[in-house]
Amino acid sequence: MNTFIQSLTPGLFWDVAQDTIDPTTHRRFVIERVLTRGEISDLRAIIAYYSIPVITSEAQQMRSLDPVTLAFAACLGNVPQSTFRCYTPKQ
C-alpha cells in the first residue's frame, strides 16, 4: 500500500480497499475525499503531495461539491467560484 494513502485518515476511504488506491491515477478521488471529509492534517498532506494549483485544477473539474467546500476550494486556489464545474448560481 502507498505510504501517502496510509498517512491520511483511514475513515476517508471506508468504502474502498485502500491498497487499490493509486495517488496518481486516482488523484481527483483522493482530493475530493480530503476536501469534503478530511481533517486539517489530511489537507496539509495533499497540499504537500500534490500542490495547491493541482488541487484547485482537480476541484474545478469535480461534478459536485457542497457550497462550503466549493467556497474553500476557490479561496485555497484564489480563483472565482464560477470557474468550478459544479458552480451554479442560486436563482
The number of folded domains in the chain is 1
The answer, yes or no, to whether residue 2 has pLDDT greater than 90, is no
Label residue 44 by pLDDT band (50, 70, 90): very high
Whether residue 14 lies inside any domain: the answer is no
Other CB atoms within a 10 A radius of the CB of residue 71 amount to: 13
Label residue 45 by pLDDT band (50, 70, 90): very high
pTM: 0.91
Report helix angle 27-37 to 52-60, nearest 10: 90
Percent residues over pLDDT 90 in the chain: 85
**E strands in the chain:** none
Whether residue 71 lies inside any domain: the answer is yes
Whether residue 42 lies inside any domain: the answer is yes
**Stronger pLDDT, 1 or 2, i.e. the higher one:** 2
* Domain assignment of residue 30, given as a range: 3-8+22-83
N- to C-terminal Cα distance for the chain?
46
Whether residue 16 lies inside any domain: the answer is no
Distance, CA of 9 to CA of 24 (rounded, Å): 18
Whether residue 88 lies inside any domain: the answer is no
